[in-house]
Amino acid sequence: MSDQQPRRVRIVSPRTRATRSATGRPVSREIGEQTIVGEVYMGSLVRVQLRLAIGILLIFTVLLGGLPLLLLAEPQLADVQVLGFPLPWVLLGAVVHPVLVLGGLLYVRQAERNEHDFSEVVR
């Protein structure tokens, strides 16, 4: 029996991908095998994506869903003329469509970024 004290070891994060993947099971395997670890990772991705979806839907609920309420509260807005046409016609007939496309574009970019970050982590 040695009375020698164990040598003091400093533990730091390796901060490199190579070391980490060499140390154990890849997270993708945890997910594939549905271990608790895997479920935690998957759950976090689902939550992030759901939050994104709800965020986009909320923006459009306010923008589009608020329009009838706004016209109800301020009926004189319906008489405002834009380029010779009533404002509601211009908004609903033309302006909404590019705004919807923009919303879709933002969503696709962010959703793909979320998935990219996820696959970086679980690799």
Residues that bind another protein in the complex, under the rule CB under 8 A: 26, 28-29, 31-34, 38-39, 42, 45-46, 49-50, 52-53, 56-57, 60, 64-65, 68, 71-72, 75, 78-79, 84, 86, 88-89, 92-94, 96-98, 100-101, 103-105, 107-108, 111-112, 115-116, 118-119, 122-123
C-beta closer to another protein: residue 1 or 106: 106
C-beta closer to another protein: residue 6 or 84: 84
C-beta closer to another protein: residue 20 or 45: 45
C-beta closer to another protein: residue 20 or 71: 71
Q: How many of the other CB atoms lie within 10 Å of CB of 73? A: 9
Which pair of tokens denotes residue 46?
Answer: 């689902």
Q: Say which DSSP state 24 is in.
A: S
Per-position DSSP letters for 76-116, written without gaps between them: GGGG-EETTEEHHHHIIIIIHHHHHHHHHHHHHHHHHHHHH
Q: How far is the CB of 77 from another protein (least distance, A)?
A: 10
Q: How far is the CB of 22 from another protein (least distance, A)?
A: 17
d(CA 116, CA 119): 5
Which residue in the block uniquely carries the two structure tokens 């994506």?
Answer: 49
